[in-house]
Amino acid sequence: MRVLLTSWGSRGDVEPLAGLAVALREMGAGVRVCAPPDEEFAELLARAGVPLVPLGPTVRSVVAGPRPPTAEDAFRLAPELVAARFTTLGTAARGCDALLATGLMPAGARDVAEKLGIPYVLACFHTLGLPSQNVPPGSRPGRRSAPGETDNRVLWEQDAQRVNGLYREALNSHRTAIGLPPVDNVRDHVLTGRPWLAADATLCPSRGMTDLDVVQTGAWILPDDRPLPAGLAAFLDAGAPPVYVGFGSMAAHAPEGIARVAVEACRALGRRVVLARGWAGLSPVDDGDDCFVVGEVNQQALFRRVAAVVHHGGAGTTTTAARAGAPQVVVPRIADQPYWASRAAELGIGAAHYDRTPTVGSLSAALATALTDETRARAKAVAGTIRPDGAMVAAKLLLDAAGRNAG
């Protein structure tokens, strides 16, 4: 049995596929992964024992510039990714028994599977883009809804029109070229009526969040047994647990001056800092010995040894911190990040800092909440409820679907 997994997006979109790939290989399946050709993604997949089949441009070239991507950038990128999926997936999927896609609206993936006659699954790591009568859609490039519009049915219809504006012309052109009929609603075509939700049920309950028949597998976690670097281990051993501060691959969206603000906020509370460079290239504000800078590191091990985690609110970082029992301060910027911030606050495992421009005072206040005994106790309790087997659940479902199709 052979499976093709694909994504185009940040590390939070690629690392779960590596976790799923490990589970599939443990079950004896062959796995191919098509993902952006960023160097760190290739290294990530190498840890899972799976080579990277390059798909589209690097993510870093799109999001790590001096400014956030614009709507014009999105309208240029969308048809480029559609073309890349038809070309790259069309080749990589030959001989495969199933295709699973995730990440930025993977228009083109289902179409390749349809042409080859193999099962297709759309997976997501949150419910933000799934139509719901109870929750409005997030923002997308395209024509805005009328001010004051509150009918979710209308808002989701307009969301579908925005997706069509980005993808439909390119998608249908490529479908015609391989002998498939055109698609009217690209969003619903990509999502299917039964998408998979690769998120923990405690952190991201699906009930009431979407009208679709969601299959919730649990989070896909890539096991990490790498030791912490010697210098970091020595820093951790040298004093009380520090506060971790990192914003991952949110280079263009990291709050301005966040390194200085975070270090000073931690110092105001008498805490040392582990500062993650990330794509934003965060660096120390001075040569104080109470701040240690790290690059790529085993967060699963590190988060078990910190007093709190200050981060942007990506699904992966939120889940890793929650599994480690580490209190969180979430400073959301875009997409699903405000949702994860709200869940951390609702669950009592941390604090949400919704102001997009943290100050030393505001971040200190949020940290003070996260560092209370009550929050730490709650974080430890919630950690025990998070299931570690989501990738294995998904692997079994995917291979079952492939087997039924083959039979």
Q: What is the CATH classification number for the domain harbouring 251?
A: 3.40.50.2000
Backbone angles phi, psi at 52, to 5 degrees: -90, 125
* Contact (Cβ atoms closer than 8 angstroms) between residue 65 and residue 252: yes
Residue with tokens 């606050």: 345
* 110 & 126 share domain: yes
One domain for residues 294 and 362: yes
Among residues 13, 29, 24, 169, which one has the least CA distance to residue 101? 13
Lowest mean pLDDT among 130-139, 253-262, 273-282, 308-317: 253-262
pLDDT over 90 (residue 238)? yes
Degrees, nearest 5: CA angle 254-362-342: 70
Q: Predicted confidence band at 248 (pLDDT cuts at 50, 70, 90)?
A: confident
Same domain, 367 and 397: no
Q: Is the pLDDT of residue 252 over 80?
A: no
Say whether pLDDT at 253 is over 70. no
Look over the chain and give the mean of its residue pLDDT values, rounded to a whole number: 94
Per-residue confidence at 62, pLDDT binned at 50, 70, 90? confident
Confidence of residue 279 (pLDDT cuts 50, 70, 90): confident
Residue 225 lies in a domain: no
Residue 372 lies in a domain: yes
**Is residue 39 situated within a structural domain?**
yes
Q: Calculate what percentage of the chain has a pLDDT beyond 70.
A: 98
| Number of compact structural domains in the chain | 2
User: Do 203 and 76 lie in a common domain?
Assistant: yes
pLDDT at 404: 86
Averaged pLDDT for residues 110-119: 98
Q: Please report which confidence band the pLDDT of residue 377 belongs to, taking 50, 70 and 90 as the band edges.
A: very high
Residue 308 falls inside a structural domain:
yes
Asked if residue 255 belongs to a domain, the reply is yes
Q: What is the pTM of this model?
A: 0.94
* Distance in angstroms (rounded) separating the CA atoms of residues 365 and 349: 15
Which is nearest to 266 in space by CA: 241, 242, 295? 242
Does the pLDDT at position 31 exceed 80? yes
Give the sign of the dihedral formed by CA 111, CA 116, CA 118, CA 124.
negative
**How much of the chain exceeds pLDDT 90, in percent?**
84
49 and 136 fall within a common domain:
yes
Write down the pLDDT at residue 133.
93
Q: Are residues 153 and 60 in the same domain?
A: yes
Reported as a single tens digit per residue, the pLDDT across 163-189 is 999 999 999 999 999 999 999 999 999
| pLDDT score of 177 | 97
Domain that holds residue 274: 230-383
Q: What tokens does 306 get? A: 């910190």
The yes-or-no verdict on residue 250 having pLDDT over 90 is: no
In a domain, 337, yes or no: yes
Q: Are residues 36 and 125 in the same domain?
A: yes
Q: Are 346 and 280 found together in one domain?
A: yes
Q: Rounded distance, CA 396 to CA 46, Å? A: 22
Average pLDDT over residues 41-45: 93
The confidence score (pLDDT) of residue 208 equals 86
Q: How confident is the model at residue 283 (pLDDT cuts 50, 70, 90)?
A: confident
Spell 302-323 as b/e; 16+ CB within 10 A means b: bbbbbbbbbbbbbbbbbbbbbb
pLDDT at 66: 67
Q: At what angle do helices 315-324 and 337-347 cross, to 10 degrees?
A: 20
Measured CA to CA, the distance from residue 246 to residue 349 in angstroms comes to: 18
Whether 78 and 148 map to the same domain: the answer is: yes
pLDDT tier at 207 (50, 70, 90 boundaries)? Answer: confident
| Confidence tier at 334 by pLDDT (50, 70, 90) | confident
How far apart CA 59 and CA 250 sit, in angstroms, is 11
CA angle 26, 30, 36 (to 5 degrees): 105
Q: What is the pLDDT of residues 291-318, one digit of tens each?
A: 999 999 999 999 999 999 999 999 999 9
Cα–Cα distance measured from residue 57 to residue 85, given in angstroms and rounded to the nearest whole number: 12
Statement to judge: residues 206 and 115 lie in one domain: yes
Residue 230, CA distances (Å) to 121, 234, 277, 294 in order: 42, 6, 18, 11
Q: Cα(200)–Cα(324) distance, rounded to whole angstroms?
A: 14
394 and 371 in a common domain: no
Q: Does residue 395 lie in a domain region? A: yes
The answer on 236 and 208 residing in a single domain is no
pLDDT in the model for residue 201: 96
Q: Which residues of 48-77 are buried (b: 16+ CB within 10 A; e: fewer)?
A: bebebbebbbebbebbbeeeeeeeeebeeb
DSSP-assigned beta bridge partners for residue 197 = 124, 216
